[in-house]
Amino acid sequence: MEKIVILTGAGISAESGLGTFRDEGGLWAQHRIEDVATPEGFARNPQLVHDFYNARRAQALEAKPNPAHDALARLQREAKGEVVIVTQNVDGLHEAAGATGVMHMHGALNAAFCAACEHRWDAPLAMAPDDRCPACQATATRPDIVWFGEMPYDMEEIWQHLEEADVFAAIGTSGQVYPAAAFGQHAGRAGAHTVELNLEPSVNSRDFAEARHGSASEVVPLWVEEELSRQK
């Protein structure tokens, strides 16, 4: 049975109105990574970090999936084999489009996490430094987001999927953040056909056998259509 593994990044949600990180005027032009996306930044100023993710949570709740998210959900429904979606995105737009089993390697805005007892629960719209964990009552509540210097989630399972992949596609990601940036090379060496779908060549586009450049809402539905007809 054929296995398709897909990695998505901020570019797939750009046309849903969610800003990317590294494009001109992106999130990392407006905020310092070390202030809002590291454990040290959170320890220094938890209010600032909560404010940043509260704003992103509110924005993500307003956003609607675009034709690229819809096409990947369709691929999952209609492909003959298994379609695994791994995302670096913390929005819930793949699920909103109907995708299932999405692996959120960098965490999710809709979850809260207790650093004291590791309990997870649904994040309220706005989180605050003195929120108590509903399980252990500690005030060690944080957004369930993987920050720089922390280990992304589900890595063992993800490497395994990449090794078993027949096709690997990276969509809307600049290829600047590891370990996700190494997935193309890893899957390719393990025998997958690799394809990059992005607005422009990513920094590691040489790791991919094929590239399709353009906006996600255009190139992804076309690619999905081709994958489905190839399987017929």
The pattern of x and - marking residues 99 through 138 that bind ligand OAD according to CB under 6 A reads: -------x--------------------------------
3-state secondary structure 113-136: EECCCCCEEECCCCCCCCCCCCCC
Given a contact cutoff of 8 angstroms between Cβ atoms, the answer to whether 136 and 122 are in contact is no
Q: Is 20 in the site for ligand OAD (CB under 6 A)?
A: yes
For 121, phi then psi, to 5°, come to -150, 175
Q: Is 200 in the site for ligand OAD (CB under 6 A)?
A: yes
| Residue from 172, 184, 207, 224 in contact with ligand OAD (CB under 6 A) | 172
Kindly tell me which of 141 and 215 has the beta carbon lying closer to ligand OAD. 215
| Residue from 6, 7, 9, 72 in contact with ligand OAD (CB under 6 A) | 9
Q: How many residues bind ligand OAD (CB under 6 A)?
A: 27
Report whether the peptide linkage leading into residue 129 is cis, meaning its omega lies within 30 degrees of zero.
no
CB of 85 to ligand OAD, least distance (A): 14
Active site residues: 106
* Distance (Å) of CA 41 to CA 50, 124, 149: 11, 21, 11
Q: Is 174 in the site for ligand OAD (CB under 6 A)?
A: yes
Q: End-to-end CA distance of the chain, in Å?
A: 13
| Residue from 16, 54, 76, 88 in contact with ligand OAD (CB under 6 A) | 88
| Residue from 54, 141, 198, 204 in contact with ligand OAD (CB under 6 A) | 198
Question: Which residues, 6 or more positions from 118, have their beta carbon under 8 angstroms from its beta carbon?
Answer: none
Among 207, 204, 211, residue whose Cα is nearest residue 174: 204
User: What does DSSP say about strands 120-122 and 107-114: parallel, antiparallel, or unpaired?
Assistant: antiparallel
Question: What single-letter amino acid sits at 134?
Answer: P
Q: Is 231 in the site for ligand OAD (CB under 6 A)?
A: no
CB of 90 to ligand OAD, least distance (A): 7
Residues making contact with ligand OAD (CB under 6 A): 9-11, 14-15, 20-23, 26, 37, 88, 106, 146-148, 172-174, 176-177, 198-200, 202, 215-216
